[in-house]
């Protein structure tokens, strides 16, 4: 209960705090907010615009998939401990309980001047405020040979949970005992800093049970493990001795057949290649001209999450340029969404946004199906620097992997899915 209350911002008092204490009586009845993307950020934003406006503002959520599928816990599908269907939540809660219009479609264009979005199946929708939460685009073309290998289904990413997660599990099942699985990690920033390190632990967990002569090799373009390093390394060596090999500072520059080519080091051949390329903001944000940070990420005003390139377009989640210490995580996207939703409702009501928003993050990683480690942090808006900064002394790391945190991790997932979609 405590966890759920924390995520939801402590009920009615929390909702008012999000709005900076303003009353909802000034919310115009005719305003329309369109949300693009029904993932961790978009689903939460859609729901909270409705809640914070006392269900007065019209909200349309556009998402091409039938249901939300969670990336968190998806590495457990590779391990064999969970089914993909257990990670899915329908959008019916948003429709029925919150009166949100959910449109199953893909937004092919945004016109910031006319304030319209164009749907791939035809037609357009007008907005007063637009929220974009399109997640990341995997830049397959930055690794020569990867686009072709991916199109043929040979080299997968499974970095968006769905059919590819199941396909990668099948590749692992088909691997003979004694085979080699190789995962490559791009330079940070990328979606979910601890995700790759969790993934190799869970693939090793499967190998330990089913094919103990096999091997996991992790090629990291970064100089060291980017999150929870000591905890991951300890878990790898103690739980899976001899099974996982970690090679830092290995940047993939090409793929030929089953061979990885590196910038400096020797080529490496593996049976299953799982190549994660560099990432940038989802395609719709890039093509709308919002990716003004290194042409990869969307710059936002952190007080409102409005794009610095276009008025009345708020961008949240993995697609944005991060403030220091702010990870690309589902919990963070959920947190961005609440600040953005409150700012949108305030602005549409003619009020100033909350001047002191707070963000939270907790990231649980499974190092075995029943053992978990976490990292947590709190981030406050610092007016003088117009950015979020990690609150000194907030959050922290697990002292060691443990079974109780596995229960917390499952509770976290259940609660955040209910918070975003229920
Ligand atoms: C293996 C793995 C493990 C992870 N584990 C954790 C974890 O334990 N904890 C954690 O907090 N985070 C975790 N993450 C990270 C988390 O999944 C992301 O940070 C989060 O999904 C980002 O939310 P988002 O809303 O930005 O994007 P998403 O959740 O990806 O949502 C984007 C949505 O936008 C839709 N979309 C895109 N373009 C369009 C368009 N043009 N029109 C309409 N819809 C569109 C997509 O279909 C998608 O549904 C993990 C990620 C991975 C890959």
Condensed to tens digits (0 to 9), the pLDDT of residues 171-207 reads 999 999 999 999 999 999 999 999 999 999 999 999 9
Class of domain 32-138+280-353 as given by CATH: alpha beta
Quote the strand ranges of 317-370, DSSP E.
358-368
For the segment 376-411, what is each residue's pLDDT rounded down to a tens digit?
999 999 999 999 999 999 999 999 999 999 999 999
CB 272 within 8 A of CB 181: yes
- Which SS3 state, helix, strand or coil, does residue 5 take? helix
Alpha helices (runs of H) in 211-325, residue ranges in sequence order: 229-239, 283-287
Q: Give CA–CA dist 351/334, Å, rounded.
A: 23
Tally Cβ neighbours within 10 Å of residue 352.
11
* 301, β-bridge pairs: 306
40 alpha carbon – ligand 1 mean position (Å)? 6
160 alpha carbon – ligand 1 mean position (Å)? 7
For the segment 299-331, what is each residue's pLDDT rounded down to a tens digit?
999 999 999 999 999 999 999 999 999 999 999
Candidates 70, 94, 137; CA nearest to 331 is 70
Residue 48 CA, chain-centre distance (Å), reads 18
Q: Answer yes or no: is the C-beta of 46 below 6 A from any ligand 1 atom.
A: no
Ligand 1, atom 11, lies closest to the CA of: 330
For the segment 353-378, what is each residue's pLDDT rounded down to a tens digit?
999 999 999 999 999 999 999 999 99
CB 58 within 8 A of CB 64: no
pLDDT at 334 over 90: yes
Q: What is the pTM of this model?
A: 0.95
For the segment 210-238, what is each residue's pLDDT rounded down to a tens digit?
999 999 999 999 999 999 999 999 999 99
**% of the chain surpassing 70 pLDDT:** 94
CB 376 within 8 A of CB 363: yes
Average pLDDT of the residues of the chain: 94
Cα–Cα distances in Å, from 43 out to 46, 70, 187, 330, 381?
A: 5, 12, 29, 11, 23
Between helix 330-348 and helix 40-52 the angle, nearest 10°, is 30
* 376, β-bridge pairs: 362, 396
Q: Answer yes or no: is the C-beta of 331 below 6 A from any ligand 1 atom.
A: yes
The pLDDT, as a whole number, for residue 15 is: 60
The pLDDT, as a whole number, for residue 16 is: 55
- Residue whose entry in the numeric block shows the structure tokens 């922290």: 396
CB 7 within 8 A of CB 14: no
Ligand 1, atom 38, lies closest to the CA of: 134
133 alpha carbon – ligand 1 mean position (Å)? 8
Q: Answer yes or no: is the C-beta of 38 below 6 A from any ligand 1 atom.
A: yes
The domain spans of the chain are 32-138+280-353, 146-275
How does residue 18 score in pLDDT terms, banded at 50, 70 and 90?
A: low
3-state helix, strand, coil in the chain (%, to 5): 35, 25, 40
Higher pLDDT, 13 or 220: 220
Mutate to test the pocket of ligand 1, among 169, 192, 201, 421 (most ligand atoms within 8 A of CB): 192
The ligand 1 atom nearest the CA atom of 160: 53
DSSP state of 84: G
Ligand 1, atom 22, lies closest to the CA of: 330
Mean local confidence (pLDDT), 79-102: 98
The pLDDT, as a whole number, for residue 28 is: 81
pLDDT at 134 over 60: yes
Cα–Cα distances in Å, from 420 out to 95, 96, 196, 344?
A: 12, 14, 25, 17
297 alpha carbon – ligand 1 mean position (Å)? 15
Residues 6+ apart with CB under 8 A from 40: 70, 133, 317, 330, 331, 333, 334, 337, 416, 420
Q: Give CA–CA dist 29/57, Å, rounded.
A: 6
71 alpha carbon – ligand 1 mean position (Å)? 7
How does residue 21 score in pLDDT terms, banded at 50, 70 and 90?
A: low
For the segment 43-72, what is each residue's pLDDT rounded down to a tens digit?
999 999 999 999 999 999 999 999 999 999
- Which SS3 state, helix, strand or coil, does residue 208 take? helix
Query: Do 146-275 and 32-138+280-353 fall under one CATH topology?
Result: yes
CB 214 within 8 A of CB 181: yes
Q: Counting beta carbons within 10 angstroms of the beta carbon of residue 176, is it exposed (0 to 12), middle (13 to 18) or buried (19 or more)?
A: exposed
How does residue 27 score in pLDDT terms, banded at 50, 70 and 90?
A: confident
Q: Give CA–CA dist 4/27, Å, rounded.
A: 27
Report the topology of domain 146-275: FAD/NAD(P)-binding domain (3.50.50)
The pLDDT, as a whole number, for residue 159 is: 98
For the segment 118-132, what is each residue's pLDDT rounded down to a tens digit?
999 999 999 999 999
Candidates 128, 191, 418; CA nearest to 317 is 191
């Amino acid at each position: 209960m405590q966890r759920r209350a924390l995520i939801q911002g402590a009920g009615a008092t929390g909702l008012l705090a999000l709005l900076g204490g303003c009353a909802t009586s000034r919310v115009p009845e005719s305003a329309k907010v369109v949300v693009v993307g029904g993932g961790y950020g978009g689903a939460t934003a859609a729901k909270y615009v409705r809640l914070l406006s006392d269900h007065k503002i019209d909200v349309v959520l556009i998402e091409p998939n039938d249901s939300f599928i969670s990336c968190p816990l998806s590495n457990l599908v590779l391990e064999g401990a969970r089914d993909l269907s257990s990670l899915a939540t329908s959008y019916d809660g948003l429709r029925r309980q919150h009166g949100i219009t959910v449109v199953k479609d893909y937004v092919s264009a945004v016109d910031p001047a006319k304030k319209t979005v164009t749907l791939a199946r035809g037609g357009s929708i007008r907005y007063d405020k637009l929220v974009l939460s399109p997640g990341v685009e995997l830049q397959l073309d930055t690794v020569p040979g990867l686009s072709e290998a991916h199109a043929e289904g040979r080299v997968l990413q499974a970095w968006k949970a769905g059919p590819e997660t199941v396909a990668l599990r099948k590749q692992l099942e088909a691997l003979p005992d004694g085979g080699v699985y190789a995962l490559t990690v791009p330079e940070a920033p990328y979606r979910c800093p601890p995700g790759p390190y969790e993934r190799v632990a869970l693939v090793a967990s499967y190998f330990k049970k089913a094919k103990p002569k096999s091997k996991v090799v992790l090629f990291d373009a970064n100089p060291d493990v980017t999150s929870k390093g000591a905890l991951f390394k300890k878990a790898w060596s103690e739980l899976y001795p001899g099974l996982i090999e970690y090679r830092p500072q290995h940047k993939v520059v090409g793929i030929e057949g089953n061979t990885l080519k590196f910038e400096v080091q020797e080529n490496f051949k593996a049976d299953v290649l799982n190549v994660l390329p560099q990432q940038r903001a989802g395609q719709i944000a890039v093509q709308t001209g919002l990716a003004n940070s290194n042409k990869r990420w969307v710059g936002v005003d952190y007080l409102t999450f409005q794009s610095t390139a276009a008025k009345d377009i708020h961008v949240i989640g993995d697609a944005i340029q991060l403030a220091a210490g702010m990870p690309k995580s589902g919990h963070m996207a959920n947190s961005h969404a609440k600040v953005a939703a409150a700012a949108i409702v305030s602005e549409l009501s003619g009020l100033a946004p909350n001047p002191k928003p707070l963000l939270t993050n907790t990231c649980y990683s499974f190092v075995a199906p029943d053992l978990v480690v976490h990292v947590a942090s709190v981030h406050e808006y610092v007016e003088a620097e117009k950015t979020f900064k990690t609150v000194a002394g907030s959050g922290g790391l697990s002292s060691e992997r443990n079974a109780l945190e596995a229960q917390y991790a499952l509770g976290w997932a259940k609660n955040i899915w209910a918070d975003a979609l229920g």
